[in-house]
């Protein structure tokens, strides 16, 4: 008997629900949006707490400056827009007004990656993790599913300092248990294995788990690690995976340069060099299509990951 299909929920939906709950529990939480509250799912918070919600309009740079001002007055600020606008258009303001003074602003960007789908390359932000990871003092989080997204948002309320959370538009499989507890800076082993370790983030975590099933059918034992926090990254978990498995493959819905793969490679080369492969978007922009079509088109589906993993294991053996 086949297992029932996994429940699918967009991480942006979980973000909106978590904000609504936090609004009731935490009077210091303030939410800003750049005229996209219906899409970023901050609208529920705006209706429940209109005195703590500000629609800044199509002015993302101004939104970051306003967020910085509110944070300087002791508020915990969640500022939202699409990833293309939040990380792209407002990068200078995030750097100068939020990161330099290390203010308590959480930039929660939705509609990231190829799974934005039919909106095409203009909206498919594939460089945001790189842009945010390079900023001193910025914490970068890419939740695997809705459960982890909600848990991460809750954790950030008590976390002091700037943070960037990358959220998706498309509904994706839920892989975490309901009682999952998120900890900033810690990865999670979702499946043990010995032939190689697959380290993934965001929508690629379910794909890596499916790839591990395909590999198991071919006699290859794959460890699967959810590395939701890209910065600060869990160095101990990466080193243990390199020592135990002897090969590491990373998978991300992002450019391979500067994202999760680069972060993992930095740890591996310094502490335990082993054969690696980095699965992601290879120096190109996206195109229009459904989320599933695009993941397959760019080699980010389970079958493509499994093929790359098998070749890596063969290279390790050679």
Q: Which residues are marked as active site?
A: 60
CB atoms within 10 A of CB 82: 24
- The per-residue DSSP string of 35-58 comes to S-HHHHT-HHHHHH-GGGEEE--S
Roughly how many angstroms between the first and final C-alpha of the chain, as a whole number? 39
Length reported for the chain? 318
Compute the distance between CA of residue 41 and CA of residue 110 in angstroms, rounded to an integer: 9
Q: In angstroms, rounded to a whole number, what is the distance separating the alpha carbons of residues 290 and 118?
A: 6
35 burial via Cβ count (<10 Å: 0-12, 13-18, 19+):
middle
């Amino acid at each position: 008997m086949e297992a029932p299909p996994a429940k699918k929920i967009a991480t942006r939906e979980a973000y909106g629900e978590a904000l609504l709950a936090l609004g009731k529990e935490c009077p210091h939480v303030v939410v800003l949006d750049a005229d996209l509250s219906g899409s970023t799912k901050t609208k529920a918070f705006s209706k429940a707490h209109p005195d703590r919600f500000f629609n800044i309009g199509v002015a993302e740079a101004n939104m970051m400056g306003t967020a910085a001002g509110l944070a300087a007055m002791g508020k915990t600020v969640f500022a939202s827009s699409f990833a293309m606008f939040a990380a792209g258009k407002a990068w200078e303001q995030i750097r100068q007004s939020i990161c330099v003074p290390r203010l308590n602003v959480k930039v929660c960007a939705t509609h990231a990656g190829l799974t934005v789908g039919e909106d095409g390359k203009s909206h498919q932000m594939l460089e945001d993790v790189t842009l945010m990871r390079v900023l001193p003092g910025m914490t970068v989080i890419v939740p695997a599913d809705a459960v982890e997204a909600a848990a991460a948002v809750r954790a950030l309320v008590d976390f002091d300092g700037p943070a960037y959370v990358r959220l998706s538009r498309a509904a994706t499989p839920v892989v975490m248990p309901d009682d999952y507890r998120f900890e900033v800076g810690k990865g999670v082993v979702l499946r043990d294995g010995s032939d190689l370790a697959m380290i993934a983030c965001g929508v690629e975590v379910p794909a890596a788990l499916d790839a591990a099933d395909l590999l198991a059918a071919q006699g290859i034992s794959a460890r699967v690690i959810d590395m939701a926090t890209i910065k600060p990254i869990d160095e101990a978990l990466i080193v243990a995976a390199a020592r135990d498995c002897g090969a590491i493959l990373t998978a991300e819905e992002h450019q391979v340069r500067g994202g999760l793969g680069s972060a993992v490679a930095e740890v591996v080369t310094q502490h335990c060099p082993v054969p690696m492969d980095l699965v992601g978007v290879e120096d190109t922009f996206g195109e229009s299509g459904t989320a599933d079509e695009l993941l397959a088109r760019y080699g980010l589906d389970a079958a493509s990951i499994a093929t790359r993993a098998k070749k890596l294991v063969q290279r390790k053996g050679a």
